[in-house]
Amino acid sequence: MSDTQKTATLTIDDKSYELPIHSPTVGPDVLDIRKLYGQAGVFTYDPGFTSTAACDSTITYIDGEKGELLHRGYPIDQLAGKSHYLEVCYLLLYGELPSAAELETFETTITRHTMIHEQMHNFFRGFRRDAHPMATMVGVVGAMSAFYHDSTDISDPLQREVASHRLIAKMPTIAAMAYKYSIGQPFVYPRNDLDYAANFLHMCFAVPAEEYHVDPILSRAMDRIFTLHADHEQNASTSTVRLASSSGANPFACIAAGIACLWGPAHGGANQACLEMLKEIGTPDRIPEFIARAKDKNDPFRLMGFGHRVYKNFDPRATVMKQSADEVLDLLGVEDNPILATAKELERAALADPYFAEKKLFPNVDFYSGIILEAMGFPTSMFTPIFALSRTVGWISQWKEQLSDPGHKIGRPRQLYLGETARDYVDIESR
């Protein structure tokens, strides 16, 4: 954030107040209202914080009008097309792309932290088999603080580093175990000879009775899903992690809070909602009926997976994800899966319809990631845990950045109170 050079004037009644204006490296200017209450005795009112910058950050930048997403300045399409998830993790954590030696060391560190404490297996057995995997992940990740005491001191840079590596490394293991537990299969231990994405697929789909080989096309598609969901600026779950962190909570509690927030259908559940919509449509021949409903302002039906709250033109992640979706569907086929056949036809019909082009309702990353995960054989209940797995590095990067800011303080949003004014208690006999 640049030094303050410009100011804005706020006039309330007959008094005026000068508000500093900060100019970012890219993006709109920001009014600094930190001293507004002390000087003028008023708060600002911004439900959803849609016009409020709660922090400054150097990690991710989004321009919704241009359809631009940058991680440390690098466009997401370049990272997804030329890089891989653990290299992007390094970039988000440390600010620069690693050298070959740095990347090798980082990958080795993550690979050798993938196992979880054996006693943590007991936590899974405390859940019902039909428990949602996100419920299991919230509990298990929060419980990590009971097992890894040597990485909970947030004032120690080394402990913060160890906690960061542990969370990135162990989250695929925890997510895969949550899946295995939900379907009644034995846990599969991680393997150090597999890369990050292939290891996750192996832990999800391998069984002790036979060998399981991860197809490189599926592994690459999984890696892209991880990469494209790694961070997304100050969204609801990231803000939740930052707010939890502001109280001094340990890293495992903060990430568990982020997982809990991500569970909401308006946030991490979007690709699950997309698949449920495709199941509702059922078969390709019913698509015209549902497209007509989507155009009808009086019909509550919405096409899930089209358009995006942030991106006003197109989702820059969707182009790369579409390529992976096409590769996966070519590999696995759609002939025997009516959901995937419906998805392909819905994509074609929507892109060919002038109404959707005019409204800029293009397929987004949730549409394509849902198709890929469905084709791979994941149930919809696993879509959000995979999102949480992917986003962990973004949460940790934001967490580390906040803790390194000497000016950070505990979060305390204000409110517009509309309740009763002070009144006296009335004895129950007189009510």
Cα end-to-end distance, the chain, whole Å: 57
C-alpha torsion sign, points 361, 362, 366, 371: positive
- The tokens for 150 are 């040597």
If one counts every other C-beta atom within 10 angstroms of the C-beta of residue 305, the result is 29
Rounded Cα distance between 181 and 367, Å, is: 27
Rounded Cα distance between 259 and 119, Å, is: 22
Whether 366 is catalytic is yes
Residues 86 and 106 sit within 8 Å (Cβ to Cβ): yes
- The tokens for 88 are 């992007």
Catalytic pick among 84, 223, 308, 315: 308
Strand partners, 31: 21
- The tokens for 30 are 């920001």
Provide the strand spans (E) within 60-217: 60-63, 68-71, 74-75
Whether 296 is catalytic is no
Strand partners, 8: 19
What are the start-end ranges of the H helices in 209-352? Answer: 216-228, 236-246, 251-262, 270-281, 287-295, 316-332, 338-352
| List of residues 6+ apart from 250 with CB closer than 8 A | 145, 152, 154, 163
Type of residue at 52: T
Return the SS3 of 88.
Answer: helix
Instruction: Write the DSSP symbol of residue 249.
Output: -
Catalytic pick among 195, 223, 315, 366: 366
| Residue with token string 């107040």 | 17
What are the start-end ranges of the H helices in 229-269? Answer: 236-246, 251-262
- Helix, strand, coil percentages (3-state) for the chain, rounded to 5, are 55, 5, 40
Residues 69 and 364 sit within 8 Å (Cβ to Cβ): no
85-94 and 100-111 helices, crossing angle to 10°: 100
Residues with a catalytic annotation lie at 308, 366
